[in-house]
Each structure stands twice: as C-alpha cells, then as structure tokens.
Amino acid sequence: MSVRLPQQKIGSVPCAVGFSLFTWLGFYKKTSAEDELIHTIKHCILFIQRYDYIKAEQLLHVALRQAQQMQHQLAITYIYDVMANLALEREHLDKAKDLFVAVTQRIMADGATEDDFRVVHISTKLARISHLKKDYQTAQMGYEWCLEKLEKIIKSDPSEEKMKLFALAEDWYGRLFLDTNQYEHALKLMTDSLEKMQSVSDIEKEHIATQMNDIGTVCDLLGKTDESLHYFKEAIEIGKKLEMELGTMYVNLGRAYIKKKLLSEARKNCGLALKIGVMSKNKDVKEEAENCFQEIKRLN
C-alpha cells in the first residue's frame, strides 16, 4: 500500500514565471513606446497568473512584435524568457528548451558568463526540462552544476531571489530521485528545500503545504510513519487556512494512521476525504477514500 503523490504543476508562478518580472534584465520604462510595451507585457503576466495561457501567449506575440519594431533588444530577450517560462508551465518542453537556449545565447552575447545568476537560473530550468523528458542523466548533471553555482552565489549574496531558486532547484532535484526510487536522496533534498522555502517571504503558503504533503509521502515510502504523520498534519493545517482542496492529504493521513494501527483516527480522516471527494465530485479522491475504508475493514 502506498500513499498517493498528487500531480504537481511545473514551476508555479512564484517559482517560475514571476521570477523575472521587470528586474533581472534591467528593463525599465523610458519612452511612451516602451510604456505601451510594458503595459502589454503586464497584461501577459496577468493572464499567466490567471492560468489563461492561450490569451497570454497571443499577447506575448503582440509584445514581441512591438519590441522588434522598436529594436529593443533587452525587451526582446525578456519576452523570450516569459515565453519560455510559459511553455514550461504548459509542458511544451521542446519549445521551452529552444526559447531558454535562445535567451541564454542572447544574454551571453551581451557579456554574461556561466557564473551569472541569470545563466544559472535558466540552466536550472533546462535541467528540469531534461528531467521531465526522463533524460535523468542529463538532468542530474544539470542540477548538480546549478546547485554548485548557486551555493557560491548565495555565499556572496544571500538574497531571497537567489535563495528561492536554490530551494526550487533542490526540490526539483529531489523529485528526480523520487522518480528513480532513490527515496533517501529525495527526502534529504526536499526537506532542505522546504527549510529554505520557509525562510523566503514571498513563497505562497499553498506551495509550502503541497511540499509538506509530498515530503510526508516520501517518509511513508521509507517506512518513516511518525515523520509522515507530522508532515501530513502540518500540510492539512496550512491547507485549512487557505481553503485548499484537502482530499488527497486526508487520505494520506488516514493511511498513515492505518500503518500505526490507529484505526479510529484512520476512519475519521478517510471519512473526511470521502466527504470531500463526493462534494467536489473528485472521483480519484472518492476512490482512494473508499479503498482506505476497505483496508480498515480488513484490519478490524
């Protein structure tokens, strides 16, 4: 019996697209034409934050034409970067890779070195793309290279922006080990990532709750039931305050209680999951909760 790991979105807005909003390429408002371009890009970002990716991509092409007409090279590079992040968000992996490579080539042609935070930032996402394409060897080399560079960067400039990328890289690398059934390595990286995430002020609490639930899952896979209970409970407490959909987390907590032979607590949490599954018409949660009750019956 295993605890179900919920499907994760790739690079949520705080950790992917939102990383490069009008800062790291030095893109500033100067003229009326640039004012119009910035207005267009802001609307692109707004659509991305609302998960309206089709409208965002359409408007990004409008912004790109504006920037090309102005021959505004920094703006063109910035727009390519936003396009790349959006393609990664949508799991259009080949497109994302091509765009990130183009951005890297442009900023390196403008003088950036491989130690430049912008280059490491993009390299982290290229490693993630290799990971998602199941090219684990390339992904692992990429993650290792990026973490080594980030560790040096943070020693001289421990800003929240850089710490956030370090935490994201560790989390993604941990998930690579999870995908390849190397659970101890996964747990170490994911818990290190969580600690860093909790020190950063603008990380969404929903992300923290999801990460705690996933760490609880890894603990369960390792047979560390007490630790998994801790993480599941913490995730649920945060999720309650945010009014998150908690069905899967309650199932996970219920199953952990089954392993501890605490069947009353297991029944309670699987019941909450079943209620959520029925009310939200979530067939997966409903089925998992029913399976949980079947397991409890077998133990009675």
When the candidates are 1.25.40.10, 1.10.150.120, 3.40.50.300, 3.40.50.2300, the CATH number that belongs to 204-300 is 1.25.40.10
Cβ contacts of 128-133, under 8 Å, gap ≥ 24: 128/10, 128/11, 128/88, 128/172, 129/88, 129/93, 129/96, 129/97, 129/100, 131/172, 131/175, 131/176, 131/179, 132/10, 132/91, 132/93, 133/93
Cα 272 to Cα 279: distance, rounded to the nearest angstrom = 11
Mean pLDDT of the chain: 89
CA terminus-to-terminus distance, the chain: 17
What is residue 13's predicted lDDT score, i.e. its pLDDT? 33
Cα 68 to Cα 22: distance, rounded to the nearest angstrom = 18
Mean pLDDT of 278-299: 93
Tell me the pTM. Answer: 0.85
What is residue 132's predicted lDDT score, i.e. its pLDDT? 96
Beta carbons within 8 Å of 39's beta carbon, 6+ residues apart: none
How do residues 201-238 score in pLDDT, each as one tens digit? 878 899 999 999 999 999 999 999 999 999 999 999 99
Cα 154 to Cα 158: distance, rounded to the nearest angstrom = 4
- Domain ranges in the chain are 204-300
Tokens 């060897």 correspond to: 137
What is residue 35's predicted lDDT score, i.e. its pLDDT? 80
Cα 104 to Cα 80: distance, rounded to the nearest angstrom = 10
Neighbour tally for 44: CB within 10 Å: 23
Query: Is the pLDDT assigned to residue 24 strictly greater than 50?
Result: no
Burial letters 157-167, b for 16+ CB under 10 A, else e: eeeebbbbbbb
What is residue 31's predicted lDDT score, i.e. its pLDDT? 67
**Pick from 67-71, 79-83, 201-205, 223-227: least confident:** 201-205
How do residues 232-261 score in pLDDT, each as one tens digit? 999 999 999 999 999 999 999 999 999 999
Provide the pLDDT confidence category of residue 4 given band limits of 50, 70 and 90: very low
**Do residues 72 and 37 lie in contact, with contact meaning Cβ atoms separated by under 8 Å?**
yes
Mean pLDDT of 76-86: 93
Neighbour tally for 140: CB within 10 Å: 17
What is residue 223's predicted lDDT score, i.e. its pLDDT? 95
Mean pLDDT of 136-158: 96
Query: Is the pLDDT assigned to residue 129 strictly greater than 90?
Result: yes
Provide the pLDDT confidence category of residue 1 given band limits of 50, 70 and 90: very low
Which helix (DSSP H) or strand (DSSP E) does residue 151 occupy? helix 136-156
Query: Is the pLDDT assigned to residue 16 strictly greater than 60?
Result: no
